[in-house]
Amino acid sequence: MLSKIQLAISKLDRAAWLRFFGALFGLAFAFLAAIYSTVFRESGNLIGTAVAASVALLLAALVGFATVPYLAKRVAFRRVREAFDYEATREGAAYIVLIIILGIAALNTNNNLLFIIVSAMLGAIGISGVSSWLMMRGVALEISLPQHVFARRSVIGRVTLRNQRRWTPSFSLQIVPPKKVKHEGSLRWEKSVFGFPSKRPPHLQWVRLPDRSLRRVQPEPKPPGIFTGSIYFPFIAAHSSSSADLELKFPNRGRHVQEGLGLSTRFPFSFLTKTRRVPLKRELLVYPSVDPTEDFFEVLPLIAGEFEAFVRGRGYDLYRIREYLPQDSARNVDWKATAKTGALKVREFTREDERKLRIVFDNPAPGTVSDKAYESGVQMAASLAWHFSQEAAELNFVVVGMEPRDDVYDFLAYLALVGPEPSTNNFLQQLPPSDAYNIILTSQPRGSLPTELWAKSYFLFIAES
């Protein structure tokens, strides 16, 4: 029993309870001062009345400013606090103006009917607020996103609203993006130097002393969001769900983060647009575009031809029919082609067990190539990786600073976030040996490339794209 009491005491927020009891004592003294001010007023002591009333007001204000906000931050129901946003509509603004006009008319004429009408109109605003709160109460939001997303390709995301209430349905709900909050940055003291005269260059100033200046630090830019449009749900039955598909299309590669959504309604009278902020976080990695471009169609036949020539040999897939050579085996003679042409022909096959391909992305350093050329090189690497992943070839991917990978989605995820970074010039010289054919995307000049790679590699120069 004693241990349970000690455990309960250890879980108490002592600072909050001290503030609470301090507020009680402060209000008690303020109440006592207010009573004394009444006594002084009845006895005709104006100075005592003013002092006692001032002490009561100061104590009440001190409790209000020092205790109430502190305790409000520790309210257990954090979902309720700052959970709604309100935005006036045109209909609501016109309705409020009409109420003000009728209220002024009722005060001037002392007409009971006008007072009744104004009261009914004010009651309608309260009913609207309660009804809209009930429509969003007990409604859960779920989002389903595709696993693999490519830039410039449309994908479908699904948004589901689940009404968890047992008896009451929901009407006129809308999913909206969160409101954008403008961050002006934070103020921070930074080290600086005080120089006099200030307009002179540093080496010509008479006085230079260490100083500190207050500067505004801009926050880091946030990644773009996922959802930009809105979805409308006219009706959701009690204890059921409703889903809607939303087309998503991202113009550029990179990471997209959705930090919360809004559940909005104008039900029932459209006086206010009430939006409940839903704390929801989703991340989506958008791969580079793999849609074929003109450059891709130009280089693909050349790469495919050299790759097939590199792996030709004995196998099961026919590579070509050619003239007979003395070193060829007689079992490879194609007698039908020989009979048609009158010359001895042999079949040449591809070695399927050796169709190995390695794609190497030599990431350029910052400033080496233009942004447009860099993005073209990233897209070319992604397109080639995606194309050959659909073929019967054993793929391997090599990039700077990472171990070789054989999963195409790992390579696409790397390309989705890659950017120019300082790299060593001897990256290609340090490539591990392999019997695979290489497709190398690099910005290094031709003269600096290792000669042993030319025999089994196809080079794509990013700067020339």
DSSP letter string, 255-310: EEEEEEEEEEE-TTT-SEEEEEEEEEEEEEEEEPP-S--HHHHHHHHHHHHHHHHH
Residue 309: pLDDT band (50, 70, 90) is low
Could you tell me the strand order of the sheet in which 437-442 lies? 394-399, 356-361, 437-442, 457-461
For position 284, what pLDDT does the model report?
92
- If you count DSSP H runs as helices and E runs as strands, how many of each does the chain have, helices first? 10, 18
The residue-averaged pLDDT of 99-128 equals 85
371-389 vs 408-417: helix crossing angle, rounded to 10 = 170
pLDDT at 52 over 90: no
Report yes or no: 174 and 313 within 8 Å, Cβ to Cβ.
no
User: Global pTM?
Assistant: 0.67
* Residue 443, token pair as written in the block: 């910005």
The residue-averaged pLDDT of 263-271 equals 88
pLDDT at 77 over 50: no
Lowest mean pLDDT among 14-23, 160-169, 314-323, 327-336: 314-323
pLDDT at 351 over 70: no
pLDDT at 388 over 80: yes
For position 204, what pLDDT does the model report?
78
Instruction: State the Cα–Cα distance between residues 389 and 396, nearest whole angstrom.
Output: 10
